[in-house]
Amino acid sequence: MHRLEPYHLWLGHAGDLAGVRNILDAGICAVVDLALNEPSPQLPRDMVYCRFPLVDGVGNDPWILLSAIRTTASLLKLEVPALVCCSAGLSRGPAVVAAALSTITRQTPEDCLRQVSRLVSHDVSPGFWNEVVEVCRSFQERPAAL
C-alpha cells in the first residue's frame, strides 16, 4: 500500500486486502475494490467495502466506471481514509484515483494521472484509460443532477 500524500488515500493491490491488520493500522475506514478478476476479501464488518467489478481493458459498463470514480471522489472530498485497489495496483486503481482527483480539483484526468504517477508506479491499460477519460468528459458535459 502506498499513501498518496496529502490525501487520506492509499493505492494498493489484491494482496493488500489479505493483510487486514495493515489496513486497520493505517487507519483506513473504506475500501474501493476495482478488480473483477479477484475474489472478495474477508474484511471486518464495520469497514465500508465498495466493489466495482472492472475489466483492466475495454468493455466496462460506463455506469459502473462512473460509480467507482464518484465513490472515490466522495471519499477524497470527505477525507475518509480509504484504500483503492485492483489486482496488481498498477492500472485500474491509479486510473480511477486520477479521475476522482480530476473531478475534485478540476484538472484534466491526464494531469492528475501524471500527479499520481509521481507518487506510485503505474502501468495503465490504454483501453481502460480511454474509457476513464470518456466517462469523465461525458460526465463533465452533462448538467448537474442529484
Residue 126 lies in a domain: yes
CATH of the domain at 121: 3.90.190.10
Tens digits of residue pLDDT in 71-90: 999 999 999 999 999 998 88
Q: How many domains does the chain have?
A: 1
Neighbour-count burial for 48-87, b at 16+ CB within 10 Å, e otherwise:
eebebebbbeeebeeebbbebbebbbebbeeeebbbbbbb
Domain that holds residue 83: 2-141
Grid coordinates of 43: 474484511
Residue 146 lies in a domain: no
pTM of the model: 0.92
For residues 74 and 71, give the distance between their C-alpha atoms in angstroms, rounded to a whole number: 5
For residues 17 and 31, give the distance between their C-alpha atoms in angstroms, rounded to a whole number: 9
For residues 43 and 34, give the distance between their C-alpha atoms in angstroms, rounded to a whole number: 15
Of 128, 64, 107, 130, residue with least CA distance to 72: 64
Tens digits of residue pLDDT in 3-58: 999 999 999 999 999 889 999 999 999 999 999 998 889 899 999 999 999 999 99
Binned at pLDDT 50, 70 and 90, residue 145 comes out as very low
If you compute the radius of gyration of the chain from its CA atoms, what whole number of angstroms results? 14
